[in-house]
Every structure is written in C-alpha cells, then in structure tokens.
Amino acid sequence: MLIGKPPSIPSSQITPRDQYMNRRRFLRGSLAGAAALGATAFGGERLAQVLSPRTSVLAGTRLQTVKSPLTTTGEQLTSFEDITHYNNFYEFGVEKGDPAKNDGGLPTRPWTVQVEGLVKQPKTFDIDALMKLRPLEDRVYRHRCVEAWSMVVPWVGYSLSEFIKQCEPLSTAKYVQFISYYDRHVEKWADEVAGIVWPYSEGLRMDEAMNELTLLTFGLYGQELPNQNGAPIRIVVPWKYGYKSAKSIVRVRFVKDEPPTTWNQQAPSAYGFYSNVNPNVDTVPWNQATERRVGLPFWQQRRTTLLFNGYGQQVAYLYKGMDLRKNY
Amino acid sequence: MKHSSLVALKVLVWLACLAPFGWLVWGAATTSLGPDATATITFATGRTTLRLLAITLAIAPVRKLIPKLTWIIRFRRLLGLFTFFYATLHLLTWVALYAGFDVNRMATDVVKRRYITAGMAAWLLMLPLAATSTNWAIRKLGGKRWNRLHQLIYLAAVCGVVHYWWQVKTGVLTPLAITIVIAVLLLARPVLNLAQRRRPRPAEA
C-alpha cells in the first residue's frame, strides 16, 4: 500500500492523458456521427439506439462541462439506464427500482443549501448560483456500495473544497455534516425502514471533505442529476461506501465533533463513521473482498475489491497511523 | 378425484413450480436479469424456496380444516422436492457466483456470517428429507420414524426465515410477510391438534 501525498503531475502531461482517457468517447462520437450521416435515410435514431443502447435515453437538461484530470480511466461506464434504475434512496422505497418510480415529487427548484455551524457567518446558497460557482467537470468515478455491488459513473460537479472555501469555516470546525431533504409527505416510503431517524445525515472529517476527489455533484452523463440519484445537489466520496455520499442536500453544518450519521446510528457495528472501502475489513453481513459490477451478465460481474476503492494514491495519507480495522 | 384430473393437476403444478426457474433461464439467455443479475438470481431462488416451503407446510393444516381436500396430500412430495430444488439453486448461486468455488472463502463465510450459517443449516436440514422422499425410503424407515425425521422441516423453515432477516439491512422489513405466513403455518399445527383433542366425541355429546 502506498501512503503519502499524491504525486504532483506536471501540467505538460495532463493534456495527453486527457485525450487518452476520452478516447472511447471520441471513438463513439465519430462512430455515431458516421452512422448518423449514413443512416438518415433509414431513420437514424433507431440505428443510434442500436449502436449505443441505454445511453440514448438522455432526457434531462444538458450541462456545460469541462474535462478533469481527476477522472478515473480504463473502466467501462455503467449505462445511464442502470445508474438511474438501481438506487438506494430509502426515502423513496427500499427496492432498487423504487426511487425511479416514486421520486417525482422531489421539488428540485427552487432549492437552497443552508450553511451553518462553525462558520464566519451563516449563509444560504441558491442551487443555480452554486452550479455557476466553478466550472462543472466531468469526473468518472468507481462507485462501491456496502452491499458489494459497484458501478462506474460519469459524475458532473466540482471539488467540494471549492464550495467549503466559500463557506468560510472557522479553524475550530473539524467535521462537516450533510443533511438531506426530508418531507414525509413527499417521501412517504421512508417508514418502510424501521428505526431510521430522518432526515438522512452524513459526515466527513474536514481533511476528507477538502480532498480534491470529494465531489460536489450536480449531474451525471453530462446532464442534471435525475431525482433518484440525489438531485439537485449531492456529494460523491468515491473511496467510501455509497451511503457516505449524501443525496439531495439542504444543509451543510460545520462542527467540532464527529456528527451523527444515519447508518452508523442504525447499526454501529455494521457501518462505521469512516466506511472506507476496504476488502480486508468485512462488515455485517457482507463479505467485502469482492464486488459485483452492475450491468454485466452474471458470469462476468465478480471482481476483486480494491482498498479505498482504488483511490489509495490520492487518499491513503488521510489515514496514516490509523488502525483501519478499528476505524472501519 | 378422478385419475385424469389428478394427472392434469400434476402437470399444472409442475409447470407452476418450474416457472421461476424458466424465467431465470430465459433472463440469463437474453441477459435481461436487471442491472445486477447475480442479485436477481439470488433473490429469485431464495424467495421461491420460502414460498414453496410455505405452500408445502400449508398442505397438512388445510387438509385438517377442509376434509374435502384430503387429496392434496398427493402433491406434498412434489412441492417439497421443488422447495429443495430451489434451495439447492440458491446455495449454488452462493457457491459459484459469490464464493467462486473457493472452499476457503465458503468456510469463512459459514463461520463468520451468521446469515450464511443459518442458510446452510436450513439446506442441510432439508437434505435428509429430500434423500428419504422415495416410497422405498418410507417403507424402509417405517411410517413413524419417517414422520419423526420429516419434522426437521419445521426447524429448516425457522432457519430459512432467520437467514432472510439476517441478510437484509437493519430496519428493512421485506421479510415480514413471508415470516407471518410461515409462523401461522407452524403455529397452526399445535393449535389444530389441541382443538381436535378437545372436541368432544359425538357419542359423549
């Protein structure tokens, strides 16, 4: 295992790497373009669907995005269809397909995010202003659920650290807490789970939140987040199990002590505060050594789980000297 | 019941019992088992096992309550064996798709993961029942001993339900419905026996 700060990449190398990492999209683009040209005569849309099934369902608002050197390369993207129809969003039901069915009532506009706690001054941010705060980046990340399945998602957003700078936290702030939207009239299915105290709450240590991989997320596949994926604003922490990445955030609170987090309160022995992806530390009841990649035939799904979900180079230094078995 | 209608019914029950398996085979062939095919197979085989087990357990109390339906006993072996068939598919899903035939990993899972311990116990309890399901075995064992052996199904049912609860996340209540059904069917046995004993004989009335 490599512990230490990520090596700094000379800017001269970033561009070629970038082109390399987007080669699939480039190829697909030119293929689709050629196909579209050739196929206008026989109904190009159908052909486009055959060439690129499941990704042609993009219906949401397109976002202006830029490339990012922090994107994950060498992974086949999970389809838009699967990313949006295999969700854990228990406020909208416990079955994986429930959120896509039940989330129509989530009022994503107008939407504000309140910043409070140990900050220079409490502030309220409007969602549209937040989306313009920094250029939106395309960032492909592996997404690993504690239930031992995984996806590869092309998120859209910018580093949470950029937002935190705007919040002006005090030096006494050691943790940041994220509180999700909750309205039991809209999220009638939340009672299907016994014992959870809503709203959903998650948290990160300040240095984890400031790590550039931690993404303040507004979209996926180049468009605004569908409701079931945590619209209109969520965080994505790619080296931790999925439930650490809180959805539909309405409040961000800077605090001195470790904040209460939903699944940790529900079953402390199964869900630790840190919840870093770790194949060597099992959680009840799942074996975390391997995972199933979503969207593949069953005989191709199984793969080895990587420590920190493969992001150790960028994040292992955060846990230097910590016993990851104890701080699971 | 006429012989011809019995044969027709048996064909129907066979088809109904094979339907979940057919659906999985079709889904695998057309890669349409949903986003997480492994999870779909695991859940479908597990759920079918518990449902068939509930139907099998319902045979005896239904016969007691509705004397006209005594003939349904002729379906119990078939249903019981299909229960075992799906339990075995469920087990093989774990062996092949989760453990990848790795014996060490399976051993660790059985020891460390209580839901796997319970599931394994349920399957092991059903194994001797499936093995002694032939007429020959019944004759060899004698009705009384055979009956006593086959009471293991009650324990297997409890292990199966516990296995389901230990597998879901804390607070998720999906196993509740099948738990109630199986609990009622298990409790129906002592309750019906008691009621039968208390019922005064016609001569004494």
d(CA B145, CA B126): 16
Q: Within an 8 Å CB–CB cutoff, is residue A86 touching chain B?
A: yes
**Contacts B46 to A, Cβ<8 Å:** none
Q: A267: distance to nearest CA of chain B, Å?
A: 7
Long-range contacts (CB closer than 8 Å, 24 or more residues apart) made by A259-267: A259/A175, A259/A177, A259/A201, A259/A203, A260/A201, A260/A203, A261/A201, A261/A202, A261/A203, A262/A196, A262/A197, A262/A200, A262/A201, A262/A202, A265/A197, A266/A195, A266/A196, A266/B169, A266/B170, A266/B171, A267/B169, A267/B170
- Is the pLDDT at A129 greater than 50? The verdict is yes
* Residue B114 contacts A, CB cutoff 8 Å: yes
- The model's confidence at residue B202, banded by pLDDT at 50, 70 and 90, is low
What pLDDT score was predicted for residue B198? 80
Pairwise CB contact (< 8 Å): A82 & B35: yes
- From B102's Cα to the closest Cα of chain A, the distance in A is 12
Residue A38 has pLDDT above 80, yes or no: no
Whether A12 has a pLDDT exceeding 50, the answer reads no
Mind telling me how many Å the CA of B57 is from chain A's nearest CA?
28
Confidence of residue B197 (pLDDT cuts 50, 70, 90): confident
Q: What is the mean pLDDT of residues A110-136?
A: 98
User: How far is the C-alpha of B175 from the C-alpha of A274, rounded, in Å?
Assistant: 29
pLDDT of residue A301: 97
CB proximity B43 to A under 8 Å: no
* Residue A28 binned pLDDT confidence (cut-offs 50, 70, 90): very low
Residue A279 forms contact with B (CB below 8 Å): no
For residue A75, which amino acid is it? E
pLDDT confidence of residue A60: 74
Find all residues with CB under 8 Å of B37, minimum gap 6, and list them. A296, A297, A298, A301, B27, B28, B31
Q: What integer best gives the mean pLDDT of chain A? A: 87
State yes or no: pLDDT of A11 exceeds 50.
no
- Residues in chain B with CB shorter than 8 Å from the CB of A296 are 37
**pLDDT one-digit tens code per residue, A162-198:** 999 999 999 999 999 999 999 999 999 998 899 999 9
Peptide bond into A69 cis (omega under 30): no
Residue B68, chain A, CB below 8 Å: the answer is no
Tell whether A282 is within 8 A of chain B (Cβ). yes
Give the residue among A113, A149, A76 at the shortest CA–CA distance from A231. A113
CB contact B109 to A (< 8 Å): yes
Q: Write out pLDDT tens, residues B16-37.
A: 999 999 999 999 999 999 999 9
Instruction: Specify the pLDDT at position B204.
Output: 47
Q: To the nearest whole angstrom, how far is the Cα of B39 from the nearest Cα of chain A?
A: 9
Nearest residue in A to B167, CA atom: A285
List of chain A residues whose C-beta atoms are within 8 Å of the C-beta of residue B167: 285
Question: Taking the CB of residue B58, how many other CB atoms lie within 10 A of it?
Answer: 18
B112 Cα distance to chain centroid: 25
